[in-house]
Amino acid sequence: MIFVTGDMHGDFSRFQNPALKKLRESDVLMVCGDFGFVWDGSPKEQKLLKKIGKRKHDTVFVEGCHDNYDLLETFPKVAYRGGTARKISGNVYQLLRGECYGICGKKVFAFGGGDSSNEQECGRFSLAEQPSEEDEQHGADTLRALRGKVDIILTHEPPAMIRRFLLMDDADTSAIHRYFDYLARQCSFDYWFFGRYHIDRVIPPRYYALFRDVYKVE
Instruction: Tell me which of 3.40.50, 1.10.287, 1.10.15, 3.60.21 is the CATH number of domain 2-217.
Output: 3.60.21
Segment 17-34 mean pLDDT: 95
Query: So what's the pLDDT on residue 173?
Result: 74
For 154-209, how does the pLDDT look when each residue is reduced to its tens digit (9 = 90+)? 999 999 999 989 987 766 678 899 999 999 998 999 999 999 999 999 999 999 99
CB atoms within 10 A of CB 45: 17
Distance CA 90, CA 102 (A): 19
Residue 87 exposed, middle or buried by CB count within 10 Å (0-12, 13-18, 19+): middle
What confidence category does residue 124 fall into, taking pLDDT thresholds of 50, 70 and 90? low
Q: Which helix (H) or strand (E) holds 89?
A: strand 83-89
Query: So what's the pLDDT on residue 174?
Result: 86
For 81-121, how does the pLDDT look when each residue is reduced to its tens digit (9 = 90+)? 999 999 999 999 999 999 999 999 999 999 999 987 654 44
Q: Is 94 helix (H, G, I), strand (E, B) or coil?
A: strand
Is the pLDDT at 9 greater than 80? The verdict is yes
Give residue limits of the domains in the chain.
2-217
Query: So what's the pLDDT on residue 98?
Result: 98
